[in-house]
Amino acid sequence: MEGFRDAVPIGLGYFAVSFSLGITAHNAGLNALQGFIASILCVASAGEYAGFTLIAAAAPYAEVALMTFITNMRYMLMSLALGQRADERMPFVHRLIFGYAVTDELFAINIARPGVLDPWYYYGAMLSSIPLWAVGTAIGAVAGDVLPARIVSALSVALYGMFLAIVIPPARKSRVIFGIVAVCFAASWAAGRLPLISALSAGSRTIVLTIVIASAAALLFPVPGDKD
């Protein structure tokens, strides 16, 4: 019950964001049921948005899978951190379920609790947040059929606002991150115009740029580890 209560604000936020994601799913040709299933199986806004964008571009399955994998790679680190907080006697099935439902927000409220990881707190948080994520996507897909085209176009921009809200605060605090973001914008623009790389699909260009820029940033500007 504590987990359910603490995650209610998260669920309401998920509903608002996934509504815009549903608009994107509708634009990719998915109906409400397909959008609901996609969101209940892949609880990740950036990963789903990348997947829907590639579906709309008729990208091959392998490209969709690879792009979703790279976009959601940060959840591996969160899963490792949660695993270190788990009781050694915890059944392995709990770890599998946590791996399915690792999100930035659920990770934050669980890792902030003292002591070992409580699976029932996690399940309560999942129950009040993940269904709203999937329902919001389905309603957004329905709204794409009902609302006028101008409103649908305007609502589809809302998802970009979420990404800006993620990028801008750390960019304001760190000149390095600000510079990397600027390089990403410039490289993405150039990649669509340079002779060789522009021949690749939009999804393939994004994968190449993600790997190259992230790797270069990690090598040139490593984050110092905790000395303890």
Residue 134 lies in a domain: yes
* 49 & 143 share domain: yes
Is residue 78 assigned to a domain? yes
pLDDT for 162: 60
Q: 81-130, pLDDT tens digit by residue? A: 888 888 888 888 888 888 888 888 888 888 888 888 888 999 999 999 99
40 shares its domain with 97: yes
Q: Are 45 and 140 in contact (CB under 8 A)?
A: no
Q: Are residues 124 and 227 in the same domain?
A: no
Q: Structural domain tally of the chain? A: 2
Beta-carbon-side half-sphere exposure of residue 110 (alpha carbons within 13 Å): 29
Q: Which domain holds residue 53?
A: 2-149
Residues of the chain with pLDDT under 70: 149, 151-163, 166, 201-203, 225-228
pLDDT score for 47? 83
- 194 in the same domain as 104: no
Task: Tell me whether residue 133 is exposed, middle or buried, using C-beta atoms within 10 angstroms of its C-beta: 0 to 12, 13 to 18, 19 or more.
Answer: buried
Q: What is the pLDDT of residue 206?
A: 76
pLDDT at 155 (0 to 100)? 62
Closest by CA to 128, choosing from 153, 103, 147, 99, is 103
pLDDT of residue 5: 92
CA distance 122 to 132: 16
Residues 100 and 194 in one domain: no
